[in-house]
């Protein structure tokens, strides 16, 4: 039998009792004959606590030190799990990113894994050890500790599963699978037995935080079967895998939301070639990602341009855009940080007409104003006022009959 990678999130390792439960899950897999590698997050709330500490020490903490600090939560959980496993008579060794060498680039807070040296792990696995690895962290070429972005332990787990050619990667969390929408805000959400990599990627990128987008990208690239399961029950589960015939019949697989959005409008810009480049180049230089963009048709030589950024980037983006707006002769810059993005996702959209119209009509019936729209082959997103987020999710879930299988 091959290797199984198990990843447990923050709520699954929130205290010693829960860590003992994780130990039992690892032992069960081991006793079934598999090699076992466990990837852990920090205890629930710990990474947030460390981030707050960093910001209480300085307004803009040095990035190298910041990543070293916020990666420490995982050292606590992996060592505790190994202590528990050893005390139960199972050999276990914990590893931090640099001890294995999970090599990343140097982009602090959002580093990308470039290479994993599997020697140390394989040596331990051959001895029958349950290997426990810290999620969320790596090391760059100059031995600086890096972190992989919030929710990055999912990516650590899938990357290790790919590098070690694991049979599967089990992501254990506080829900028992991937649902048609966040089960914590919509009671009618339905668990999906299977979802394609592409749909899962769109769901993750538009706000379903159950898997970090990069973990899905990586699972697709290396063909790793990913199972999302509950830490607290043996029921349920969702398989994230290649698209198949059965999946294609569904019009929508899910609805997602992202409350972490802000909208910036540059008003009355003299309409000339190069305006968009002038506005967006300085933002990309500061690593600020822009999501949706709308430029109005030009009237009498002037145009308006609206775009969204993540709420945490809004202040910085506003400063940069105000400076550019002055240079290019725009009238003013307006910001709105009370917005959210609602998205509907489904590969079936390609072959069904009227999906967009139904989405817009459903929101109109609830007097929810749509401020921006963007579409891709398998996704439609709308920006709305944030206070309508839950309502929009619920009425769309009903309108598309997601509580039942939809054809």
Q: Give the footprint of Mg ion on this chain (CB under 5 A).
A: 9, 151
**Pairing verdict, β 194-196 and 3-8:** unpaired
> Could you say which residues in the range 9-48 bind ligand ASP, by CB under 6 A?
9-10, 41-42, 47
Is the CB of 209 or the CB of 311 nearer to ligand ADP?
209
Determine if 209 is a binding residue for ligand ASP (CB under 6 A): no
201, 222, 196, 221: which is closest to 212 by C-alpha?
Answer: 201
Chosen residue from 3, 9, 147, 324 binding ligand ADP by CB under 6 A: 9
Q: If you count DSSP H runs as helices and E runs as strands, how many of each does the chain have, helices first?
A: 14, 18
222, 254, 69, 90: which is closest to 145 by C-alpha?
Answer: 69
Sheet holding 372-376, edge to edge: 290-295, 302-310, 254-270, 332-345, 379-385, 372-376
**Cα 293 to Cα 306, 309, 369, distances in angstroms:** 6, 10, 17
**136 contact choice in Mg ion, ligand ASP, ligand ADP, none (CB below 5 to 8 Å, kind-dependent):** ligand ASP
Is the CB of 98 or the CB of 179 nearer to ligand ADP?
179
Q: Describe the crossing of helices 213-222 and 197-205 by its angle, rounded to 10 degrees.
A: 160
Cα gap 179→392, rounded to integer Å: 17
Chosen residue from 73, 135, 151, 213 binding ligand ADP by CB under 6 A: 151
Per rule CB under 6 A, count of chain residues that contact ligand ASP: 13
Provide the minimum distance between the beta carbon of 78 and ligand ADP in the complex, in angstroms, as a whole number.
Answer: 15
Is the CB of 138 or the CB of 213 nearer to Mg ion?
213
341, 307, 398, 6: which is closest to 205 by C-alpha?
Answer: 341
Chosen residue from 4, 130, 133, 175 binding ligand ADP by CB under 6 A: 175
Is 256 in a helix, a strand, or coil?
strand
Is the CB of 7 or the CB of 194 nearer to ligand ASP?
7
**174 contact choice in Mg ion, ligand ADP, ligand ASP, none (CB below 5 to 8 Å, kind-dependent):** ligand ADP
**150 contact choice in Mg ion, ligand ASP, ligand ADP, none (CB below 5 to 8 Å, kind-dependent):** ligand ASP
Cα gap 308→294, rounded to integer Å: 9
Provide the minimum distance between the beta carbon of 151 and ligand ASP in the complex, in angstroms, as a whole number.
Answer: 5
Chosen residue from 26, 37, 169, 210 binding ligand ADP by CB under 6 A: 210
**152 contact choice in Mg ion, ligand ASP, ligand ADP, none (CB below 5 to 8 Å, kind-dependent):** ligand ASP
> Could you say which residues in the range 326-365 bind ligand ASP, by CB under 6 A?
none
Identify the helix (H) or strand (E) that includes residue 24.
helix 16-31
Binding characters for ligand ASP, 104-143, by CB under 6 A (x = yes) = -------------------------------xx-------
**47 contact choice in ligand ADP, ligand ASP, Mg ion, none (CB below 5 to 8 Å, kind-dependent):** ligand ASP
Provide the minimum distance between the beta carbon of 268 and ligand ADP in the complex, in angstroms, as a whole number.
Answer: 39
Chosen residue from 208, 252, 378, 383 binding ligand ADP by CB under 6 A: 208
Determine if 153 is a binding residue for ligand ASP (CB under 6 A): yes
**Pairing verdict, β 130-134 and 35-40:** parallel
Cβ–Cβ < 8 Å for 8, 172: yes
Chosen residue from 64, 109, 209, 352 binding ligand ADP by CB under 6 A: 209
Determine if 306 is a binding residue for ligand ADP (CB under 6 A): no
Cα gap 397→146, rounded to integer Å: 39
Cβ–Cβ < 8 Å for 166, 139: no
Sheet holding 238-241, edge to edge: 92-95, 130-134, 35-40, 3-8, 168-173, 226-230, 238-241, 194-196
Q: Which residues bind ligand ASP (CB under 6 A)?
A: 9-10, 41-42, 47, 73, 135-136, 150-154
- Interface with ligand ADP by CB under 6 A: which residues? 9-12, 41, 151, 173-175, 178-179, 181-184, 208-210, 254
């Amino acid at each position: 039998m091959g290797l199984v990678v198990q990843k447990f999130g923050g709520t699954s390792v929130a205290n010693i009792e829960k860590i003992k439960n994780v130990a039992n899950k690892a032992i069960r897999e081991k006793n079934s004959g598999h090699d076992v590698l466990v990837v852990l997050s920090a205890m629930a709330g710990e990474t947030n606590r460390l981030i707050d500490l960093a910001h209480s020490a300085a307004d803009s903490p040095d990035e190298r030190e910041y990543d070293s600090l916020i990666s420490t939560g995982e050292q606590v959980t992996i060592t505790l799990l190994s202590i528990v496993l050893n005390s139960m008579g199972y050999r276990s060794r914990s590893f931090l990113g640099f001890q294995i060498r999970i090599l990343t680039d140097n982009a602090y807070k959002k580093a990308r894994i470039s290479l994993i040296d599997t020697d140390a792990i394989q040596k331990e696995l051959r001895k029958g050890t349950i290997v426990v690895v810290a999620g969320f962290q790596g090391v760059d070429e100059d031995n600086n500790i890096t972190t992989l972005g919030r929710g990055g332990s999912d990516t650590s787990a899938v990357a290790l599963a790919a590098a070690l050619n694991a049979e599967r990667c089990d992501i254990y969390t506080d829900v028992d699978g991937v649902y048609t929408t966040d089960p914590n805000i919509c009671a009618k959400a339905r668990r999906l037995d299977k979802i394609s990599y592409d749909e899962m990627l769109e769901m993750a990128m538009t706000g379903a935080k159950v898997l970090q987008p990069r973990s899905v990208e990586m699972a697709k690239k290396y063909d790793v079967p990913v199972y999302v399961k509950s830490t607290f029950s043996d029921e349920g589960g969702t398989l994230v895998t290649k698209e198949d015939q059965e999946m294609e019949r569904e019009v929508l697989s899910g609805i997602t939301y992202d409350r972490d959005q802000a909208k910036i409008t540059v008003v009355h810009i003299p309409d000339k070639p190069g305006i968009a480049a002038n506005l967006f180049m300085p933002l990309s230089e500061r690593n600020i990602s822009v999501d949706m963009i709308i430029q109005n048709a030009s009237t009498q030589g002037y145009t308006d341009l609206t775009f969204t950024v993540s709420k945490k980037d809004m202040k910085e983006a506003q400063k940069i855009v105000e400076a550019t707006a002055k240079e290019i002769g725009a009238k003013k810059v307006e910001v709105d940080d009370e917005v959210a993005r609602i998205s509907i996702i489904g590969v079936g959209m390609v072959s069904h007409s009227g999906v967009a119209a139904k989405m817009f009509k459903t929101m109109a019936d609830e007097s929810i104003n749509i401020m921006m729209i963007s579409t891709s082959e398998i996704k439609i997103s709308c920006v709305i006022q944030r206070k309508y987020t839950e309502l929009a999710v619920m009425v769309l879930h009903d309108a598309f009959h997601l509580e039942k299988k939809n054809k």
